[in-house]
Amino acid sequence: MFNAAQRIPALLLAGLLALPAIAAETAQLTLPDRAAETLDAESLAQLPQTQVASAYRSSKGIETGIYTGVLLWDLLSARGLVDDPKSALRHTLLVRAGDGHAVAFSVGEIAPDFGARPILLAYQMNGAPIPDGLRIVAPGDMRGARHIKDIVAMEYR
Ligand SMILES: Nc1nc2c(c(=O)[nH]1)N[C@H]1C(S)=C(S)[C@@H](COP(=O)(O)O)O[C@H]1N2
Ligand SMILES: [Mo]
């Protein structure tokens, strides 16, 4: 189909088209004593939706955005994990990205009766799908490190 001169550009083009697929669009959610689940924009859209705005400092300056997704609290509530908030306070959610970056959030910081931080698992930014998949938005954080992008796994433990 391609001669030798055409083949190299064709391969380069195929490589470029494949690049977005390197980022994860789904994340595995693991819970104690239960089967793992796959989260993606479609499954998250079944849960209550929340919009938050965030602005944080990064090496590129102030990054702002309006995000749509599901509060970590709502994600855990929907699975009955935080019905008794007092006994849930010992638990954390460890979020991991494809590049190895990882951040832990605690039940206490997101519980409405305790830290009440509206930390969001987002799948849309400024009304458009997020190209590198799911990310955390932590409104009020001064710096970007907990805005973990390209989430591949979330472990409740
Ligand atoms: N997966 C992943 N997400 C990440 C990081 C990272 O290294 N890996 N760095 C964080 C930090 S420290 C910042 S400041 C912002 C930077 O976002 P930007 O690359 O869009 O500027 O992403 C955050 N999310
Ligand atoms: Mo950062």
Which residue spans within 40-143 are E strands per DSSP? Answer: 50-58, 61-71, 92-97, 102-106, 120-125, 128-129, 135-137
In tens, the pLDDT along 57-98 reads 999 999 999 999 999 999 999 999 999 989 999 999 999 999
Q: Which atom of ligand 1 is nearest to the CA of 58?
A: 14
pLDDT tens string 10-61 = 555 554 555 544 577 999 999 999 999 999 999 999 999 999 999 999 999 9
Pocket (CB within 6 angstroms of ligand 1): 58, 60, 63, 97, 99, 101, 143-145, 147-150
pTM for the whole structure: 0.87
Q: How far is CA 87 from each of CA 28, 38, 77, 81, 91, rounded to the nearest angstrom?
A: 24, 26, 13, 10, 9
Of the options 3.90.420.10, 3.50.50.60, 3.60.15.10, 1.10.150.120, the CATH number for the domain spanning 22-156: 3.90.420.10
Residue 122 CA to ligand 1 center (angstroms) comes to: 15
Please state, in angstroms and rounded to a whole number, the distance separating the CA atoms of residues 13 and 24: 21
Cα of 101 vs centre of ligand 1, distance in Å, is 9
Which residues are CB-neighbours of 131 under 8 A, at least 6 positions away? 20, 23
pLDDT on residue 41 = 96
